[in-house]
Structure 1
Amino acid sequence: MRFRDREDAGQRLADLLDHYRGHSDVVVLALPRGGVPVARVVADRLEAPMDLLLVRKLGVPGREELAMGAIADGDIVLNQDVVRHVEPHEVERVIQREREELRRRNEAYGRTPLEVEGRTVIVVDDGLATGATMRASVQALAQRKPGKVVVAVPTAPEHTVDEFAEIVDEVVCVMTPKPFGSVGQAYKDFSQTTDGEVRRLLTR
């Protein structure tokens, strides 16, 4: 099974989250940029407000697709198994670059963060691989004292789903392919989401 695009993935994910529909304490947070089209569909179906949870993957220099960690709201999570193979000054350079990108995006989207304290927060991305980006997001979110945290994604490896089940209140995932290649393999159309599309979906 493959998703047609992120909107299709959002529809299938929303089917599994329908029990949250109409609950006044529910907030949907999207991981930009790819998680935003998925989350927009979920938020609309659940009749819930949507905001962003700004986060950036820390890619290994020269092999950027390989995550050595992530940064979200100033909270940095590093994968020590990967980081130990990278020079410390290179790690710091990547952290500084991604910190600047987070600042730029926050200004570009011109958003006012939603209040999440005591509320049920559904964190949505278009898929998980290593889970480093989502892990940083969840850790940063914990500082804002949500009442309940739900990680919701269209696709992920089974072992990653199991790992998140240990650190959040609920994990919802449409499919866990075996073997798991990449998030993009679950989509027929996995074209990049632009900043303009993020702004449009936020204000819709």
Structure 2
Amino acid sequence: MKFLLKNRIEAGQLLATKLIKYANDSDRLILALPRGGVPVAYCIAQKLNLPLDVCLVRKLGTPQRPELAMGAIGPSGVMVINESVVNSLNISDETIQKVAQREQQELERRELLYRGDHPYRGIQDQTIILVDDGAATGATLQAAIATIRKQNPKTIIVAVPIISPEALLALDPVVEELVYLFSPYPLESISYWYNNFAQTTDEEVCHLLNSFFLPFALR
């Protein structure tokens, strides 16, 4: 059976209904994975009346299939490798490092573009709701979780509309709660489960984030 979501907005609205118990609390923060996770997280943040920020990590796509994650990187040298993908495709360490260097440059570009002079919100002792638009291997979310753990949050909750059984098994033991809409098998690709999965642009990300970067944003 094919479960179709209209778009990321509907995905966020449906996830928000599953997270409503976390609404209206100053000790909770929603972190989105750019770019596709931002529209999903924006809808959740609006519904729950919670602050929104971004967690900047980058997927390491395989040379043969860039959409397939062989790992991910985050700030402060965080790197997560999906050993099953690397081994099955016989990907060398040299290839991984080459892709990681390229994605590090993109990570730094997004840091400057999305955040500018806006300071990070405090994570220590906060309940973090980490949001993306889907999880195929879970590598990117694992890198995000490792990055967040370094800052000593109280709790990490992962919220995704679509998650593969593989990612579900990988992520469930490393977070306090995992909230999702569908876990189809076979997954095929995240885009398969959306009617509209158009690429989220940098401009859209900046527009959505600006309304949460008070007092710096112009309303």
* TM superposition score category, shorter chain reference: over 0.9
Aligned residues: 204
Q: 1:111-150 to 2 correspondence within 5 Å?
A: 111-150=118-157
Counterpart code for 2:107: L
Offset of residue 37 of structure 1? 0.1
Please state if 1:100 is matched with 2:102.
no
* RMSD of Structure 2 on Structure 1 (CA): 1.2
Q: Distance in 1 between matches of 2:194 and 2:130?
A: 20
Where does the alignment leave 5 or more consecutive residues of structure 1 unmatched? none
Partner secondary structure for residue 122 of structure 1: strand
Q: 1:41-190 to 2 correspondence within 5 Å?
A: 41-73=43-75, 74-84=77-87, 85-109=90-114, 110=116, 111-190=118-197
Q: Distance in 2 between matches of 1:194 and 1:102?
A: 15
Question: What whole-Å deviation, never above 9, does each CA across 1:70-125 have from its counterpart, x for those lacking one?
Answer: 00113011122333412322211111100111001000112421111001000000
Query: TM-score by structure 2 length?
Result: 0.89
Query: TM-score by structure 1 length?
Result: 0.96
Where does the alignment leave 5 or more consecutive residues of structure 2 unmatched? 212-219
Identity %: 43
Q: Which residue of 2 aligns with 1:191?
A: 198
Q: Distance in 2 between matches of 1:180 and 1:96?
A: 29
